[in-house]
Amino acid sequence: MAERVPKAGDLLRWAAVGFHTAALLAALVVPAYAILDAAGAFFGAGHSASLTGVLNVRRWLTLLENTGVVCGVAGLTAVGMGTCLGLLVARTDMPGRRALVGAALLGACVPVYVSAVFFLSLAPRLLSIRFPGLCGLRYDLVCAGLCGLLYGLVYAPLATLVLGTAFRAAGRELEELALLDAGRATVLLRVTLPQAAWGIVAVVMIVTLFVATDFTIADLLIVRTFSEECYTQYQLDHGRVGPLLTSVPVMLVLAVLLAVVERRYRLLGEDSPWEAGAKPPTLALRRWRIPAGVAAGALVAAGAGTLLVPLVLRLRPLAGLGAAVLNLRHELWTTTALAALGATLVVLPAGGLAWAIARGARLRWLAAAAIVLLLAIPAPTVGISLTALLNRPGVLGAVYDSPVVVAIGYFVRFLPIGVLLLIPAVRRTPCELEWAARVDGCDWLGVHRHVRWPALRRDAILAWLVVVILCFGEVGATMLVVPPGWETTAIRAFTLMHFGVYRDLAVLALLSIGCILLPWGGLAWLLARRRTCES
């Protein structure tokens, strides 16, 4: 019996599988190698004297308590504001809803370090003040609560968008049946809000992940979270054993939370509730329609003005302002180039991995588990891991001394986010299209060319823009690996923030917002076009 000769489509198929597997393993190898190497070096060398310092359960409990308070307050703040605004823009006839959505999208695009600069300019001593105990609370818990409040305000616009999507995805038929026996308010409380519970859980998880893996505001407030402790330890002695082992508990906790939430609400895969069906009925505000629109617009304008005006005032004196802008051009160009490179590295394998997780039959749960683990890794751990892996002679050392190492850090940090952003596009593609293509004689390459690639093309652009924005504001990993001469705007701003908000920092923050406007405009255009096509 003659052996079957592999066709070109088969070779391309195995090459694509190898590429996606290699990309996922490369992202996993960075933290896994460093943590295992640090644990082996620690226990192998018999560091009994420092064993209690690194593996101190009481210290870990303190860090877990502070991290829990910060994430809890941030989640409650974001959910509270996002529920009110999301319900207004998604389910009412309030005027100016599209403008409010655009403002929320812009607020979600603003990096954390820019928001921290706004807070500093509004209250110069806010992030350095020492609070006494309030109502018997410990001082560290009060600071952690303030840190969580600031994080919650930062992520409130993102919560508005997610919860608006959740309210818009509520079942129309169920609400119409409930309206036959109850009023609008009762239906809202007992039908609409329970149907949007998955959106509230998603917001809490998103905020928890971003806050628990970041240390920007926590470092300014000197709040001892896991990420802050990991970063501070490494900055003090540049030893990787203690910081990497310190990050293990929060990684495990976040991974377990992600797995539990996914199992309970099925936010990934074919049964996820992200896609809206028939548009649910709109709640008529009647005589409160105009006052609600005015109040929402006034709230947005007051918030933006309160944060922007003090920052603009710090641009004085205006003499020499042009020179200050020109002095920052290198950081802006470096950040733009590295963010574009990092986003491209993320999006290239993200589509295939999203298809494998949503519809793959083989090893789909292993790929999903890898994405969960990558999501749970704190940002400083990525930077320390890259240093441990690449800081050595030869080719790896050349990569470590080049700006490419920053783009690799972006890839490790944001690959899971790129995959999650493309899973809804996979779900929107009917399985019948693939079956019809195969019936018509399409091989593996033909199915990808005529079905999968067109289905992912527009969402891939959207995911690329989102990852560019995330890369633009990344601090945790970049701070530890950026080579001399390749400073990004986030690193420059984070360094200057510790000395107060002077003119250079104010100029840098405003220029950062200007750079964000381009990807924000692309996102707004893509989302508006999708909404028009759906309606």
**Predicted confidence (pLDDT) per residue in 188-208, tens digit:** 778 778 888 888 888 998 999
**Is 5 a domain residue?**
no
**Is 184 a domain residue?**
yes
CATH number of the domain enclosing 165: 1.10.3720.10
pLDDT (mean) for 370-390: 87
Task: Report pLDDT for 14.
Answer: 80
Task: Report pLDDT for 340.
Answer: 94
Partners of 283 in beta bridges: 92
**Is 321 a domain residue?**
yes
435 vs 526, higher pLDDT:
526
Report the distance separating Cα 457 and Cα 449, nearest Å: 11
**Is 299 a domain residue?**
no
**Is 516 a domain residue?**
yes
Closest CA to 431 of 358, 483, 524: 358
Total domains in the fold of the chain: 1
Please say whether the beta carbons of 372 and 353 come within 8 A: no
Please say whether the beta carbons of 66 and 144 come within 8 A: yes
**Predicted confidence (pLDDT) per residue in 31-76, tens digit:** 887 777 777 766 665 554 455 555 667 777 888 888 899 999 999 9
Rounded percentage of the chain residues whose pLDDT exceeds 90:
17
Model confidence at 137, in pLDDT bands (50, 70, 90)?
Answer: low
Please say whether the beta carbons of 381 and 412 come within 8 A: no
**Is 341 a domain residue?**
yes
**Is 521 a domain residue?**
yes
Task: Report pLDDT for 278.
Answer: 54
Q: Which domain holds residue 326?
A: 15-43+54-280+304-534
Res 318 pLDDT > 60: yes
Among 150-164, 236-250, 467-481, whose mean pLDDT is lowest?
236-250
Task: Report pLDDT for 270.
Answer: 54
Task: Report pLDDT for 5.
Answer: 47
**Is 327 a domain residue?**
yes
Task: Report pLDDT for 49.
Answer: 44
Please say whether the beta carbons of 234 and 34 come within 8 A: no
Q: What pTM value is reported for the model?
A: 0.89
- Checking phi first, is residue 134 left (phi over 0); if not, alpha (psi -120 to 50) or beta? beta
